[in-house]
Copies of this chain bind each other. A is one copy, B any other.
């Protein structure tokens, strides 16, 4: 159901098809939660969802349990499941912790990254550039494509890090921040020049300038936080 490799390597193998109904339901549910189809704090009733996703009750429960690992769902004994709530305080926490982890991982990558890492990073940046060019033209359809490229780029940056655990935690936090990024982009499309930030980050990393790269990455992450802070406060009212 999940990749066995290494203690913190509890990531689903995204490339190949889901091998089990639990995994399939997990992937669909995760996408729907991140996309906001189920509101933060909303109750997730197994009886209704099992029909929605066309699986048995036990299967759906297991998918929900898998989402607890990602902290996208919270479970209480005898009181079922809920979508994990969101708040400005949580977004601040996520952003600052991401800065701590990703800058450290980036320093490790820059120190120990080999040619293969550089090549993969160049490829990821190229794909991201293309996606961001398309993003200027169309609006909706390519957003999901850009999200994948953005994620791949950030992962490629720290791929040469020596710490599996940091990368594991980074993936969880990145996924969390994706929820906030969506509501932020929806309300105030894009004001800043994200591609310029990515380009500067890419250049500094390839130049092996750890200090500058870390600094740019920090500001890059915190700028997204600022965008969320500018949202109206009632945006974070949770649904029962």
Give chain B nearest CB distance to A82 CB in angstroms. 7
**Residue in B2, B18, B96, B162 whose CB lies within 8 Å of A68:** B2
Copy number of this protein in the oligomer?
2
**Residue in B58, B74, B163 whose CB lies within 8 Å of A93:** B163
Contact indicator A77/B1 (Cβ below 8 Å): yes
| Bound form: Cα–Cα A74–B5 in Å | 8
Contact indicator A76/B4 (Cβ below 8 Å): yes
Is A109 an interface position by the 8 A CB rule?
A: no
Is A14 an interface position by the 8 A CB rule?
A: no
Contact indicator A77/B164 (Cβ below 8 Å): no
Which B residues are in CB contact (< 8 Å) with A61? 62
Contact indicator B163/A77 (Cβ below 8 Å): no
Is A166 an interface position by the 8 A CB rule?
A: yes
Which B residues are in CB contact (< 8 Å) with A18? 77
